Amino acid sequence: MTGEPGSGSGSANRGTGSPSNDASDPIRNSVSSRDDGTDGRTAARRNEPSSPLSAATRIRRDPSLLLPFAVAGVLLAIVDWVRRHDPLPTLSLDDSVGFTISVEFDGYPTGVPETTRSLEALVDLKLPYLAWGIGLEAVALLVVAVAGSITIARALEEGAGVADAETESHSIRRVPAYFGLVVLFSAAGRLLGSLGELGLVLGIPLLVLVFAAMVRLFAAPAFVVTGAGPVAALRRSARVTRGSGWSIAALVLAFGLAAWLLTLVPLPYAGTVLSSALVASVHAVTVAVVRERSDGSVASDG
């Protein structure tokens, strides 16, 4: 493994492995039938800056892109409150000792909850408590899946200059697949978290591998929204991010640090709501931009 998180054979690989993308992408198919690429908005999008700035530009044009994750942030805060008051063991950010800088990045757009529940907390529970614990975690992941699917779909449509009720309908149809991807990421994160302290010898190499994986899989949520299954989305993301490792690594760090900083806001549940509404929204739109540019789409950037 090389030192660069996204080292590979270069940008020539980006458009070579997905000949079925256009055929299986309902969003892009609907866009191509309605947008000839000659209006003023499309011309302006050809000059859009790099991914994070382009995401900010799209959100400024359409502030409603912030709405799904703003709602999700409120719902996640409610889940936090429920975790604090139910009888199952819960880990809280308030329990941390000292000041620790953290990169809060889960592989998919989401806010940072104030509480979490470890796998160990679900062991040896009676069936009603086990069902409750698993159900509450599933609700939290479903909230994130719905918000992510809607935001990415709308960002892709907005990038092509088309946004209508069909976008919402398609994004809702993709929620089950998106939920599957979120479950995969969450399960992997919880499994790694259950390993405990590994020391420097094992901990640092594992951290590097996890970070490299986050870089490679950055675009996976957008591929799910545009028609791929969770596993296929992971493969496509790994392929199209070759040659862009350092820029995407910077995005992962930026989003992770920004989410962590918002958790420091000294108001109950403010970190969860703000990290969802702001960081997760920009993350989702950025994923859509990376998805568009990865296959040389002319629908959004000319």
Q: Write the pLDDT tens digit of every residue in 213-245.
A: 999 999 999 999 999 999 999 999 999 998 888
pLDDT for the residue 102: 79
The total of other beta-carbon atoms located within 10 Å of residue 292's CB is 25
φ, ψ at 91 (rounded to 5°): -95, 140
Residue 14 scores a pLDDT above 60? no
pLDDT tens digits, residue range 182-201? Answer: 999 998 888 876 666 666 67
Torsion, CA 194, CA 234, CA 162, CA 50, rounded to 10: 80
Region 83-100: what's the mean pLDDT? 77
Q: Which residues contact 214 (CB under 8 A, 6 or more apart)?
A: 105, 107, 252
Domain-wise residue ranges, the chain: 14-301
pLDDT for the residue 230: 92
pLDDT for the residue 103: 78
pLDDT for the residue 167: 61
* CA proximity to 75, closest of 101, 25, 110: 110
- Counting residues of the chain whose pLDDT is more than 70, the rounded percentage is 71
Output the average pLDDT for the chain: 80
